[in-house]
């Protein structure tokens, strides 16, 4: 805030740097989509070979990953194709789913290898996607982390059922189902809040007030500071009071610069 007040602008990236970041984000999205499809096929094979309810539940979660990947990809694509006639303010608001069994040694080796490989790839994608600030790519990172957790739970439940008690497998499947419902429900609520225009936090409003007050020495009073969710961003409304005898042109320039 102090830097913005002193310089009148925040240090940003050049056009070349922005294009480079955009290409990296597109690559991260493409890799995530390809990985989700390949790993889903691998987990379908592991589910068929094992018959484990826990692994089947984990595979169904991967199916939801494919669905969310398509939604995220379509959102990212749509945001890059502006239509000023249908969406005059842009599309930023878009950025806001007991049987027992016994495994042979060969089946167990295949299943463990597949599930560990899937988990490792997903873990690498979590680290890679978290290095970006783009909301779409960060959503992919969240999906990958969720898949890592469900893979581990599914594999552990299947192995325990094979070596200890058969009832552990359906219990693991139930745990996965409850965890999946809870996580997706929280995601839905979070997105609903961002779409209905929930107010920003008091700390964020304080920063806005500080920014407005230090914007120009002619600012006499701050009448209104309001900010509410607008997709993954905030829509801000501010009313400042300037001297009553100030020329309209100067007052307009101060307000436009603040905007």
Task: Specify the pLDDT at position 11.
Answer: 55
User: How far is 256 from 240, CA to CA, in rounded Å?
Assistant: 12
Rounded average pLDDT over 11-15? 62
CB 162 within 8 A of CB 108: yes
Asked if pLDDT for residue 223 goes beyond 60, the answer is: yes
Residue 47 has a CB neighbour count (10 Å cut-off) of 23
Q: What are phi and psi of 233, to 5 degrees?
A: -120, -175
- Kind and range of the H or E element at 222? strand 221-230
Q: Which of 23-32, 77-86, 127-136, 243-252 comes out lowest in average pLDDT?
A: 77-86
CA distance 167 to 171: 6
Backbone angles phi, psi at 66, to 5 degrees: -60, -40
Q: How far apart are CA 64 and CA 180, in angstroms?
A: 10
The answer on pLDDT for 99 being more than 50 is no
Global pTM reads 0.51
CA gap 151, 154 in Å, rounded:
5
Domain ranges within the chain, ordered by starting residue: 2-196, 202-258
């Amino acid at each position: 805030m102090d830097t913005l007040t002193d310089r009148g602008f925040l240090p940003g990236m050049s056009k070349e740097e922005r294009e480079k970041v955009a290409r990296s984000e597109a690559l991260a999205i493409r890799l995530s989509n390809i990985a989700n499809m390949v790993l889903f096929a691998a987990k379908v094979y592991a589910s068929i070979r094992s018959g484990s309810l826990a692994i089947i539940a984990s595979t169904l979660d991967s199916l939801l990953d494919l669905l969310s990947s398509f939604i995220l990809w379509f959102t990212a694509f749509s945001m890059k194709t502006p239509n000023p006639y249908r969406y005059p303010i842009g599309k930023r608001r878009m950025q806001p789913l007991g049987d027992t069994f016994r495994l042979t040694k060969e089946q167990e080796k295949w299943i463990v290898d597949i599930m560990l490989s899937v988990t490792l790839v997903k873990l690498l994608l979590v680290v890679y996607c978290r290095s970006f600030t783009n909301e779409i790519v960060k959503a992919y990172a969240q999906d990958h982390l969720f898949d890592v957790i469900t893979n581990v739970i599914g594999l552990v439940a299947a192995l325990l059922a094979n070596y200890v008690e058969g009832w552990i497998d359906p219990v693991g499947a139930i745990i996965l189902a409850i965890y999946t419902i809870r996580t997706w429900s929280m995601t839905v609520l979070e997105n609903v809040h961002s779409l209905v225009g929930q107010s920003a936090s008091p700390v964020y409003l304080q920063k806005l007030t500080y920014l407005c007050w230090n914007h120009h020495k002619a600012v006499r009073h701050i009448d209104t500071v309001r900010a509410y969710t607008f997709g993954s961003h905030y829509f801000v409304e501010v009313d400042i009071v300037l001297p009553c005898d100030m020329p309209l042109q100067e007052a307009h320039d101060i307000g436009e610069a603040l905007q």
